[in-house]
Structure 1
């Protein structure tokens, strides 16, 4: 069945363009406290407060993170099985291209965070509500674990299930430093390309995918270029090898916090309307949707 939603995607069905009428409808049906919540937001953001779509956003994060970890962790596993037919360059490009595709095909649903530090960074920038961070992080963990379990069932416990580890000849300290700096660049790219200062729209997917590929091409021999705690957490949990996991849980978080600080210096507080739309998605706000 196809709905005909208002341009705002507002659940009460009031017509867009008449803010006063919408305010009265909400106040009448839901009371002054709910009305006050809506009044503090721009009209395009009302869709995100509609919790009836929350399950779609969380499913989007599960599905997207599953695909990302499947590509990122699966490439080393299949490279091991095929005796080197995948190669390092393809292993680096696979997750980068996967992220690009995911942002393009369902970024409007949840914002396609796919990474806990991205959700935290958007929340620190006040483009994303803190109350949604736990749900998003839980969904990302579930998606990553599903991918790791899939690889274990299909291929067996090979190549550490694509776990990210410090490379041969590199220390844990070096891997930590590289992961923090790589994540600084990744989150800076995400926040910058999403902000109203740049407002490059769908080209942000290309920017993010390109950065992930670039980071992996020069730094994957050092640390695996994870930049994502759940991408590293899932293979480690499924294989039971937690030895170097601390690097990949803490370094990306530090990098993300530094990126938020850099974004404040570069553009001031918040990413503007464009940054909020990028963080939250625009589910059900751009015309007919199939429900």
Structure 2
């Protein structure tokens, strides 16, 4: 759901022009775009590397939906054995483990809204967006079909594991916008901002610390998904992902308010990505920005010179 920006980025990519040794990558959206050569040339849509990314997106989305929606079906079929907090934990954990599993291959987007958001910021090639979106919806649909087969047609019709607003569509759109904004804001922070990582090279220990901090990106994104599902789940289902809604809807033939889960997440993720870019302001590491001194020190120096 949130990985790397370019083709490798499900949830944690670093910026393309940067030294690979200095940046742990959890999203690879930048790779495929902007002339980056990482993992693929970005020019050949039929290259082996690009096909690997597409397959990774299909499989990643499949397992995410199978586990997340599967927990919903099992909970409904067993009179609440999994419990609502359990469902929230499953969504957060499955996103986290999949980011670590295929984030270095495709960026682990698993979400058309995330892919579009990265593309609007120039961190993912627009020409790859349709392929990623189709792969993500295909993975979601296959997972939903598997759940329907496993739990039986009658049970699947009885226990819909898609998303539908419990209130008005306007309320649902607003909530989906906010939680998608929050998710993309976090993804942008841990996946695209070099200042989120320690960059000291003084000794071997610092390198170890750098790697460990980079590995927390998947945990941060998974925790964000868990929190969003925890408080927004009862109202909208906490989709944050058009593919998560479209897959079950296609299999069950239920399309009520589907537009809510396309408009809300797409607008929210795009706004979240741009909001982080606005806050970020610069690509310079934090220490380079602050090494000249704080605002108070600058004010004091200016006061002495006048």
TM-score bracket, normalised by the shorter chain, equals: 0.7 to 0.9
1:153 shift after superposition: 0.8
| Cα pair 1:148 1:238 within 8 Å, conserved | yes
Aligned positions, number: 230
Q: Hey, what's the Cα distance between the residues in 2 that align with 1:183 and 1:68?
A: 17
Q: Hey, what's the Cα distance between the residues in 1 that align with 2:38 and 2:275?
A: 29
Q: Hey, what's the Cα distance between the residues in 1 that align with 2:226 and 2:245?
A: 17
Aligned to 2:265: 252
Aligned to 1:174: 171
Whether 2:211 is the aligned partner of 1:198: answer no
Match of 2:107 among 100, 106, 111: 111
TM-score (norm: length of structure 2): 0.71
Match of 1:154 among 115, 130, 150: 150
| Cα pair 1:125 1:269 within 8 Å, conserved | no
Encode CA deviations 1:30-63: one digit per residue, 9 max, x unaligned.
xxxxxxxx9x846xx3433162211111010000
Structure of greater relative contact order (alpha carbons < 8 Å, 6+ residues apart): 1
1:132 shift after superposition: 0.9
| Cα pair 2:56 2:106 within 8 Å, conserved | yes
Instruction: Identify unmatched segments of 5+ residues in structure 2.
Output: 1-31, 198-212, 286-306
TM-score (norm: length of structure 1): 0.74
Encode CA deviations 1:219-238: one digit per residue, 9 max, x unaligned.
11111111000101111111
1:160 shift after superposition: 4.5
SS at match of 1:110: coil
Aligned to 1:75: 71
Aligned to 2:41: 49
Whether 2:164 is the aligned partner of 1:165: answer yes
Aligned to 1:264: 277
Are residues 129 and 61 of structure 1, via their aligned partners in 2, closer, same or farther at CA, if it must alter by over 3 Å? same
Instruction: Identify unmatched segments of 5+ residues in structure 1.
Output: 1-37, 273-291
